[in-house]
Chains A and B, each alone.
Chain A
C-alpha cells in the first residue's frame, strides 16, 4: 500500500499545555484512516498539522517519504493535501463555482465560464445536481459540505481530511457522502476521517486509530474492531466515571415541561420533530445524542434562544412559550451554553463580574451596583461550587476550562433558578475536572433544582443522570430511567435512523 503522508513523532504545545505527545500517523492511498477520540484528545490538532494550518513543536511531517514543512493551507494544497473543516469555511456571499475556485483558476483574469463548467463536472463527480451559480448562502449544510469537498478536489488533492463531515448531514446526504468516499478511494485518494458516530466509522473506515489525551492508544483494522472495543480504548481506565453511591435524590414535581416541540432545520441548525420531555425538581435528566442530533437546538428552544414552529414549554405550570429569554430567566430557567468561548465567557471581565452578570439587579440600588453586596454573593458562590481561582478579581481567562465551566454554572445559579439547562457541560475540560463538574451537578439536584444536561458521552449519561433521554436526528428515540439503561442500548438509540 502506498503511503501518501506521515506524521512522525509529532508533538504540539500551546503555551504550557501539551496537545500532542509524540504521535505517529500515516495516510495511505485508497484507504480511509479513521481517527477517533473524545473531545480534547488531540484529533483536531493532529489534523491541522497534517493540513499545514499549524506546525508541530517537535517531530516531522513527511509527504511522499520526504520531510516537509507545510506553511499554511496553500502550501499543503500545492502538495495535494486538502481539508474539509468541521465548521464550514465558505464565503456565503459568493456562488458555488466562485467558492470552489476562490483563488481563480488562472492568474489575473477570471475564467467564469470555464470555472462554471469545471465546477459542474466536479459536482457531477460527487453525484450532486447543485447549480454552480447558486449563492452558497442559499444551500443546505449538507450541500455546503459537498461544495467544500468539491473545493478540495478542485485542487486535485490526494489526501483528503474530513473533520466530522456528517455532523450536520441528513441520512440521505450521509449516504451520498459515503458513495463519494468510495469513489475517491477507488481513484487512489487517501482519506482521513474523523467522527464520533461509531457505527458510521466501522462502515466507512479501513483502519481505526484511537486517540486519548494527546496520544495514540490503539490501532486496528476496521474489520477487526467493534463498537465495544472502540468505546473501551477511547475512554481508558481513568476515564471511567463511577456512579456515585449516594442515594438518588427525591424527585419532586415537574418543573420544566416541553411538549410537542418541532422546528425545521435551517442552514446552521438541526430540526426537531414533536419532542416532549420533562424535568422534575431534584432530578437530573441526561440528554444523550451525537453532534447535530438536535440536543443543542432543543435546549435553546426551551430557553427561548431559538424559535420553534410548534409546541409549548411550561415552567412550574406556567406557559412560557412566548416569553423572551429575560422573562424566562426571571421565572427561574437558566441555560449554560456548550460554546463557552463564544456564548459563555466575557473574556474581558474578571471571574466575579462574569458570575454576577446574571443577577445584577439584586446587587444594585437605583441602577448603581453595590460592590459589597456583589462581592459577597460572588464569594459565596465561588465557595459553594469550589471554583479554583486566586480571587474574584482574577481574569476569567486565567482559569482552567473546568473552573471556567464552574464559574458559568455559578452565573446561572446566581438568580436562584428552578431549572438549569447545561449544554455539554464537560466539553473541552479534562477528566479530573469532569467528575468535579458532575459532583456539582449532583449537589444542585440534591438542593432541589431540576437539571437537564446534554452529552455525547454515554458513560457520562449513565454515571450522573436519573433519567436518560436519547435524541437522534431531532427525534426522541429512547426515554428511560437509568436503571434500565445500558451502554449498548443508548448507543443504538443514538444511531437510530430517523423513522421516515
Chain B
C-alpha cells in the first residue's frame, strides 16, 4: 500500500490526506491497540508500570506468543491447529512422568531417568509427532484441518489424563541421585534478571521471523496460503510444507507445556486448556488472514502482547472474570472488522 496508489484513486487533496491517515491508522492498528491497552492500565492500575509487573507480564506473553508463532505458520498456509492446547497439556504430563517415573525400557528390564535436556528433547519429539499426525490426516486423508486438529485436541487431552488417571505430577524437582534436577529452571529461571521463557521467546521469534521472511521454506508457506493450486503447479511440494507447519506448531505447543510445568514445578493434565483460542486470537490480532497467505511473525508477537497485557491488566484492575471474556471477545472482533476494512481500502 503506497501513497502513490491512494493519490491516483482520489482527485481532491483533502480526501487523500484523510484517506491516507485512515490507511496508516489501520495498518498500525495492532501497535495502536497495544499502546492503548498499556496506557489504559497504566492509568487504572498503579502497579502496572513497574519493572516487576512488566517481567511477570512478559512471562505470560511468552507463553501465548510461542504458541501463536507456531500457529502462525499453520494459519499462513490457510490451515488451523486446534490441538495446541492439548499438546501443551500432554507435553507437561510427559515431562512430569519422565522426571518422576522415568522411562521404563521393558525389553531391557530397566528404567532410565533422562536428564532435563533429554526430557525436553523427548517432549518436543512428542509435539512434533502429534503435528506430523495432524499433517498425515490433512495430506494423506484429506481431512479438513479444523476437524483433524479437533480430533487430536480430544485425543491428546485424553492421553494426558490417562497418564496419571487425571492426577497431577507434583514436585518436579528431580533427584540428584538420578541426575535429573533443574527442571524448574526452564520456566522459572532468570538470566540477567529476565525470566528464561522471555529469552526463549526472543530466540524463537527471531528465528521464526527469519524463516518466514528469508528462506525458501517461508516463501513456500506463503505460496501455499496464497494459492495452493498455483503453488502445486509451480512445483511446490505442498504436502511437505503442510507436514512441516503442523510439526512446528506441535513442537511450539510442547515447549509451552514444558514451560508451564516447569514454572509450576508440577504437571497438571488439564493445563493448556483453551490455549489454542488465545493463540489464534494473537495471530488474527497480528493482522494475519485465516484464509492464509497474509500475516507476519512480528504481527503475531504484537498480537500476543495485546492478549497478554489485556489479560493481566484486567486482573490487576479487578474486572470480573465474566467481563474479562466479554472484553477480550470484543477486542478480537474489532480487530477482524478493522482487518476487513483495511482489505477494502487497500
A: residues with CB less than 8 A from B are 53, 72-74, 77, 85, 89-94, 98-99, 102-104, 106-110, 112, 138, 151
Contact = CB atoms under 8 A, between A and B. Distances in A.
Nearest to A115: B219
Given A104-B219, A108-B216, A110-B215, A93 B293 contact: yes
Contacts of A73: 232-235
Interface of B: 5, 213-216, 218-220, 222-223, 225-227, 229-236, 293-294
A109 B220 contact: no
Nearest to B289: A93
Given A102-B219, A110-B215, 14 more contacts: A72-B235, A73-B235, A89-B229, A91-B231, A93-B226, A93-B294, A94-B219, A94-B293, A99-B230, A102-B220, A102-B230, A103-B234, A104-B215, A109-B214
Main secondary structure on chain A at its contact with chain B? Answer: loop
A72 B222 CA distance: 21
Contact of B227 (A89, A103, A151): A89
Contacts of B215: 104, 108-110
A43 B234 CA distance: 21
B7 to A, nearest CB: 15
Nearest to B292: A93
A62 B136 CA distance: 36
B78 to A, nearest CB: 10
Given A108-B216, A110-B218, A91 B223 contact: yes
Contacts of A98: 219, 222-223
B227 A90 contact: yes
A93 B294 CA distance: 7
B223 A94 contact: yes
B227 A92 contact: yes
Given A85-B233, A102-B236, A92 B216 contact: no
Contacts of A110: 213-216, 218-219
A138 B233 CA distance: 22
A97 B205 CA distance: 26
Nearest to B228: A91
Contacts of A102: 219-220, 223, 230-231, 234, 236
A209 B176 CA distance: 83
B225 A93 contact: yes
A103 B229 contact: no
Contacts of B293: 91-94
B218 to A, nearest CB: 7
B222 A94 contact: yes
Given A93-B222, A93-B293, A109-B214, A74 B235 contact: yes
Nearest to A72: B235
A103 B220 contact: yes
What are the 3 tightest A-B residue pairs by CB atom distance, in nearest-first order?
Answer: A91-B226, A74-B235, A104-B216
A89 B233 contact: yes
Nearest to A74: B235
A65 to B, nearest CB: 25
10 contacts: A90-B227, A90-B230, A92-B293, A94-B219, A102-B223, A103-B236, A109-B216, A110-B216, A110-B218, A110-B219
B226 A92 contact: yes
A74 B230 CA distance: 12
A91 B222 contact: yes
Contacts of B214: 109-110, 112
Nearest to A133: B2
A260 B216 CA distance: 51
A99 B234 CA distance: 9
Contacts of A72: 235
B233 A53 contact: yes
Contacts of B234: 73, 89, 102-103, 151
A89 B220 CA distance: 15
